[in-house]
């Protein structure tokens, strides 16, 4: 192959010698370089147990979310299988039609693998053992697609891609597409004919007397399900050819297709002409949207006191932003949570207390003096000291035993705080999520972010939400209060139980207001009675007197029982918000449970290759940590790697760079790094070694995209970047 590089050479790739590398356990990598190595083993165990619980809960949650769609797909496959079994195939569809399920999964591509894995397991367990999943990247040609399908359906090895038999089969299949009479060609369908023979043997084995079937639901003639994970990425001609070939075998093989579609159902029409799509009996299935999936995950895994580990507002915002603006992947969101969990236990020695309540209280007693000193340096503890009397302050700073007792009590306070916080957060969201313009957000995560950053009751949005609640009708308010009662009912916190009882009494009061409606109606009748008598009054004086009395009575009218009870209820809810929705930063020792390094999460999850490359080329000491590369700001070490020297020199050039002048400047810098005498004749002279090093550095810069070859001048290269950094 020709190359457009500025350099031409022969490259030799030696086989890598297999060296036995010493393997280390996971805890070794965790403890290597972590803060507070004294408690690293215990922290790693706590981290591992906590992540296992979160992972298990996540898998159960995702299975529940996908259950409705997957159950519908299972019913579809069962229905098609039963229809074929009872010979009702012709009545349901044409004999050449292949039952096809178009599964709309959305653009969150990283999450599709988990969905297809669950679908495959369910199909194999309850419908058919013959399931094959294929991806576009492994099916570039028709023979590759045939090979993958046969391998995975038959669970065996088929001839390799380069065999002559495969090429012959591909040619015969292509010939078969052009023949109207298949009986004239003896070896037309040799590839799928193997599958026919194999399937016939399998069904004969399952129908043999005395054989026990693995599942009674699979039947003697289970379908052959082929899953196309990423339909949009498949080659159109490959897919069309495969469908045409399969349609000729539908009378002998109970084939079924499942198309994984990320965009829209019209993709099938764009990829397949009518002559091919008419061979498919397509039924559409819609999976849960990724935003609803994320809302459920946050609700069940983040906004719960079940797990002691918490995310700060900035970290939550980074993870949600990556989800909304990058990939819509819930799977990657959970990986971000895992990264934050790992970083928290790796960098925070006090995370030894970030565990279940009983274990955390036991660990308090084993805190060392160094651990207690770290507690004294926490910002939340420092703020707490400023509010204490001098005697209490001295004891907390000097007496380790007194500090342990304080931490013991504060951990109990934090666990109660989280129970009350999440219950009250759900109540406030239930009250405000249906208000016009959503002043506190439509999703509960939006309200949670507000509460993490500031006192929510001091915001203008909260004040406007309370004003809207004060003008709600009775029926609307009763529905919202009933939601709050349902949220508080299962709470185990004493304060939430008291709040539940009081709200239930107020809700009962609203329901009893109907008895007072008759009195209100009678008052209205008494007020409107003078109006009926106005027709009988002819004197102007009497008319003015009557209207004046009506206005006076309306102005002096007191609030109705409903308005009084509504105001009382909203004041009570406002007091609950102020008591239980204070930000976590207001709680002492919140740093033990909350991870707040958003920059670390962003650096790991939101890669910036351009910034990293420019940092490495401008400041190689940042990565190499070589003392010879240390320089003052604005200067550069001549001992830097060749590519760094070439990069720095090319920044001083214009749009076109003369390769000879560039090489001379490079040779001068390298000669200075080698310690040569500047006054000598050989200083800056380009020898073969320097020439080779320079060409390699230039080739690397070309590969990174900083320069390119140009036809304007043969001995020049074009610069592709602007500015210095």
3-state SS of 416-460 is HHHHHHHHHHHHHHHHHCCCCCCCCCCCHHHHHHHHHHCCHHHCH
CA distances from 216 to 125, 126, 221, 222, 616 (A): 10, 8, 11, 11, 63
Gap between the Cα atoms of 285 and 399, Å rounded = 66
The whole-number pLDDT of residue 185 equals: 34
- Beta-ladder partners of 103: 260, 285
- pLDDT class for 95, splitting at 50, 70, 90? low
The three-state DSSP-derived secondary structure of 339-367 is HHHHHHHHHCHHHHHCCCHHHHHHHHHCC
Beta-strand pair 255-261/98-104: parallel
Give the residue carrying structure tokens 């102007």.
540
The whole-number pLDDT of residue 269 equals: 92
Find out whether 507 and 482 touch, Cβ atoms under 8 Å: yes
Query: Could you tell me the sign of the dihedral formed by the alpha carbons of 712, 716, 718, 723, in that order?
Result: negative
The whole-number pLDDT of residue 608 equals: 82
The whole-number pLDDT of residue 672 equals: 78
Q: Can you name the CATH fold of 43-172+190-203+218-288?
A: Rossmann fold (3.40.50)
Find out whether 721 and 713 touch, Cβ atoms under 8 Å: no
Supply 172's token pair.
């015969």
Q: What are phi and psi of 218, to 5 degrees?
A: -75, -30
Nearest by Cα to 176 from 235, 234, 247, 228:
247
Q: What order of strands is seen across the sheet that includes strand 707-709?
A: 656-658, 716-719, 707-709
Find out whether 295 and 107 touch, Cβ atoms under 8 Å: no
Phi-psi region of 31 (alpha: psi -120 to 50; beta: other; left: phi over 0): alpha
Domain extent listing, the chain: 43-172+190-203+218-288, 293-513+567-595, 609-719
The number of residues making up the chain comes to 725
Give the residue carrying structure tokens 């809810």.
573
The whole-number pLDDT of residue 155 equals: 78
Gap between the Cα atoms of 135 and 137, Å rounded = 6
- 3-state DSSP helix/strand/coil % of the chain, to nearest 5: 65, 5, 30
Half-sphere exposure of 83 (CA within 13 A, CB side): 19
Other CB atoms closer than 10 Å to residue 172's CB: what's the count? 16
Find out whether 524 and 516 touch, Cβ atoms under 8 Å: no
pLDDT digits (tens, 9 = 90+) for 305-341: 999 999 999 999 999 999 999 889 999 999 999 999 9
Pick 3 or 230 by higher pLDDT. 230
Average pLDDT over residues 526-538: 47
pLDDT digits (tens, 9 = 90+) for 470-516: 999 989 999 999 999 999 999 989 999 999 999 999 998 888 876 65
Average pLDDT over residues 229-237: 94
- Beta-ladder partners of 311: 595
Gap between the Cα atoms of 110 and 114, Å rounded = 8
pLDDT digits (tens, 9 = 90+) for 602-628: 989 988 888 889 889 988 988 888 888
- pLDDT class for 11, splitting at 50, 70, 90? low
Find out whether 299 and 444 touch, Cβ atoms under 8 Å: yes
Beta-strand pair 716-719/707-709: antiparallel
Pick 166 or 480 by higher pLDDT. 480
- pLDDT class for 517, splitting at 50, 70, 90? low
Give the residue carrying structure tokens 């001083």.
652
Gap between the Cα atoms of 702 and 7, Å rounded = 10
Average pLDDT over residues 201-222: 62
Pick 680 or 231 by higher pLDDT. 231
- Angle of helix 112-126 relative to helix 40-85, nearest 10 degrees, comes to 50
Other CB atoms closer than 10 Å to residue 595's CB: what's the count? 26
CA distances from 115 to 38, 59, 67, 70, 260 (A): 42, 11, 10, 9, 10
Q: Please enumerate in sequence order all residues whose Cβ is within 8 A of that of 391, keeping only pairs 6 or more positions apart, or say none.
A: none
pLDDT of 416 higher than 90: yes
Supply 662's token pair.
């560039």
The whole-number pLDDT of residue 171 equals: 46
pLDDT digits (tens, 9 = 90+) for 697-724: 999 999 999 999 988 888 899 999 875 4
pLDDT of 256 higher than 90: yes
Q: Please enumerate in sequence order all residues whose Cβ is within 8 A of that of 143, keeping only pairs 6 or more positions apart, or say none.
A: 161, 166, 167, 169, 170
E strands in 558-709:
594-595, 656-658, 707-709
How far the first Cα of the chain sits from its last, in Å, is 35
Beta-strand pair 594-595/310-311: parallel
The whole-number pLDDT of residue 89 equals: 44
Find out whether 439 and 432 touch, Cβ atoms under 8 Å: yes
The share of the chain scoring above pLDDT 90, in percent, equals: 57
Supply 706's token pair.
């900083």
The helix (run of H) or strand (run of E) holding residue 678 is none
DSSP states of 168-230 as a string?
Answer: HHHHHHHHHHH-S-GGG-TTTTHHHHHHHHHHHHHHHHHTSTTPPPS-TTT-SS--EEEEES-
Q: Please enumerate in sequence order all residues whose Cβ is within 8 A of that of 106, keeping only pairs 6 or more positions apart, or say none.
A: 262, 287, 289, 290, 328
Supply 405's token pair.
């007792």
pLDDT digits (tens, 9 = 90+) for 334-344: 999 999 999 99
Q: Please, is 421 exposed, middle or buried when counting C-beta atoms within 10 Å of its C-beta (0-12, 13-18, 19+)?
A: buried
- pLDDT class for 392, splitting at 50, 70, 90? very high
- pLDDT class for 191, splitting at 50, 70, 90? confident
Helix (H, G, I), strand (E, B) or coil at 723: coil
pLDDT of 538 higher than 60: no
The whole-number pLDDT of residue 662 equals: 93
Supply 22's token pair.
């010493």
Gap between the Cα atoms of 506 and 513, Å rounded = 11
Average pLDDT, the chain: 84
The helix (run of H) or strand (run of E) holding residue 26 is helix 26-31
Q: Please enumerate in sequence order all residues whose Cβ is within 8 A of that of 627, keeping only pairs 6 or more positions apart, or say none.
A: none
Gap between the Cα atoms of 604 and 601, Å rounded = 5
The whole-number pLDDT of residue 701 equals: 94
- Helices marked H in 93-141: 112-126
- pLDDT class for 175, splitting at 50, 70, 90? very low
The whole-number pLDDT of residue 176 equals: 42
pLDDT of 556 higher than 70: no
pLDDT digits (tens, 9 = 90+) for 430-449: 999 999 999 999 999 999 99
pLDDT of 168 higher than 70: no
Out of 3-12, 33-42, 237-246, 653-662, least confident range: 3-12
- pLDDT class for 184, splitting at 50, 70, 90? very low
Dihedral angle, C-alpha 616, 619, 620, 625, nearest 10 °: -120
Where b means 16+ CB within 10 Å and e means fewer, 610-641 reads eeeebebbbbbeeeeeeeebeeeeeebbebbb
Gap between the Cα atoms of 566 and 552, Å rounded = 25
Out of 4-13, 110-119, 544-553, least confident range: 4-13
- pLDDT class for 519, splitting at 50, 70, 90? low
Q: What are phi and psi of 718, to 5 degrees?
A: -95, 135
Q: What are phi and psi of 722, to 5 degrees?
A: -120, 150
Q: Please enumerate in sequence order all residues whose Cβ is within 8 A of that of 360, keeping only pairs 6 or more positions apart, or say none.
A: 308, 353, 354, 411
The whole-number pLDDT of residue 563 equals: 87
Gap between the Cα atoms of 253 and 98, Å rounded = 10
pLDDT of 19 higher than 80: no
């Amino acid at each position: 192959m020709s190359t457009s590089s500025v350099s031409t050479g022969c490259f030799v790739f030696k086989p890598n010698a297999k060296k036995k590398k010493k393997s280390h356990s996971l805890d070794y990598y965790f403890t290597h370089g972590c803060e507070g190595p004294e408690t690293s083993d215990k922290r790693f165990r706590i981290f591992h147990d906590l992540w296992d619980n979160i992972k298990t809960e996540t898998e159960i949650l995702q299975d529940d979310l996908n259950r409705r769609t997957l159950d519908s797909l299972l019913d579809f496959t069962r229905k098609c299988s039963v229809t074929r079994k009872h010979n009702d195939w012709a009545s349901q569809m044409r004999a050449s039609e292949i039952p096809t399920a178009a599964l709309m999964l959305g653009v969150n591509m990283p999450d599709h693998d988990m969905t297809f894995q669950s679908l495959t397991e369910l199909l194999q367990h309850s419908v058919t053992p013959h399931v094959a999943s294929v991806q576009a990247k492994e099916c570039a040609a028709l023979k590759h697609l045939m090979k993958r399908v046969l391998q995975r359906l038959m669970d065996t090895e088929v001839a390799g891609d380069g065999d002559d038999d495969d090429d012959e089969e591909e040619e015969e299949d292509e010939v078969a597409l052009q023949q109207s009479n298949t009986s004239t060609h003896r070896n037309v369908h040799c590839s799928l004919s193997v599958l026919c023979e194999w399937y016939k043997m399998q069904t004969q084995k399952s129908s043999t007397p005395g054989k026990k079937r693995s599942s009674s639901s699979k039947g003697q003639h289970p379908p052959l399900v082929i899953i196309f994970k990423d339909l949009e990425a498949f080659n159109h001609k490959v897919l069309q050819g495969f469908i045409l070939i399969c349609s000729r075998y539908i009378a002998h093989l109970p084939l079924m297709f499942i198309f994984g579609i990320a965009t829209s159902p019209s993709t099938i029409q764009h990829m397949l002409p009518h002559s091919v799509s008419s061979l498919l009996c397509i039924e559409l299935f819609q999976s849960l949207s990724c935003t609803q999936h994320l809302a459920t995950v946050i609700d069940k895994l983040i906004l719960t006191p079940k797990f002691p580990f918490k995310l700060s507002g900035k970290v939550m915002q980074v993870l949600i932003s990556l989800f909304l603006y990058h990939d819509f992947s819930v799977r990657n969101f959970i990986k971000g949570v895992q990264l934050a969990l790992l970083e928290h236990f790796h960098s925070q020695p006090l995370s030894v207390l970030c565990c279940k309540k009983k274990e955390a209280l036991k660990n308090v007693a084993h805190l060392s003096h160094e651990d207690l000193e770290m507690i004294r340096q926490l910002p939340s503890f420092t703020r707490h000291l400023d509010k204490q009397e001098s005697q209490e302050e001295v004891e907390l700073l000097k007496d380790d035993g007194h500090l342990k007792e304080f931490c013991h009590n504060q951990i109990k306070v934090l666990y109660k705080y989280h129970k009350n916080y999440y219950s009250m957060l759900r109540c406030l969201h239930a009250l405000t999520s249906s208000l016009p313009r959503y002043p506190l957000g439509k999703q509960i995560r939006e309200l949670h972010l507000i509460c993490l950053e500031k006192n929510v009751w001091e915001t203008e949005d909260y004040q406007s939400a309370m004003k809207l609640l004060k003008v709600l009708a009775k029926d609307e308010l009763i529905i919202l209060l009933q939601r709050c009662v349902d949220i508080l009912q299962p709470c185990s916190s004493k304060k939430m139980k008291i709040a539940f009882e009081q709200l239930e009494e107020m809700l009962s009061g609203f329901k009893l207001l109907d008895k007072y409606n008759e009195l209100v109606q009678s008052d209205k009748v008494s007020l409107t009675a003078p109006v009926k008598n106005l027709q009988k009054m002819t004197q102007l004086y009497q008319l003015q007197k009557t209207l004046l009395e009506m206005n006076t009575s309306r102005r002096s009218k007191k609030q109705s029982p409903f308005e009084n009870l509504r105001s009382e209820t909203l004041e009570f809810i406002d007091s609950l918000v102020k008591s239980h929705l204070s930000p976590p930063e207001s709680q002492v020792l919140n740093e033990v449970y909350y991870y707040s390094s958003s920059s670390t999460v962003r650096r790991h999850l939101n890669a910036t290759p351009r910034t990293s490359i420019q940092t490495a080329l401008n400041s190689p000491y940042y990565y190499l940590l070589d003392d010879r590369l240390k320089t003052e700001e604005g200067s550069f070490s001549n001992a830097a790697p060749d590519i760094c020297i070439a990069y720095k020199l090319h920044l001083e050039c214009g749009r076109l760079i003369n390769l000879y002048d560039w090489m001379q400047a490079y040779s001068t810098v390298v000669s200075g790094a080698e310690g040569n005498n500047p006054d000598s004749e050989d200083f800056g002279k380009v020898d073969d070694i320097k020439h080779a090093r320079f060409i390699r550095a230039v080739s690397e810069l070309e590969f990174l995209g900083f320069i390119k070859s140009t036809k304007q001048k043969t001995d020049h290269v074009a610069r592709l970047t602007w500015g210095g950094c």
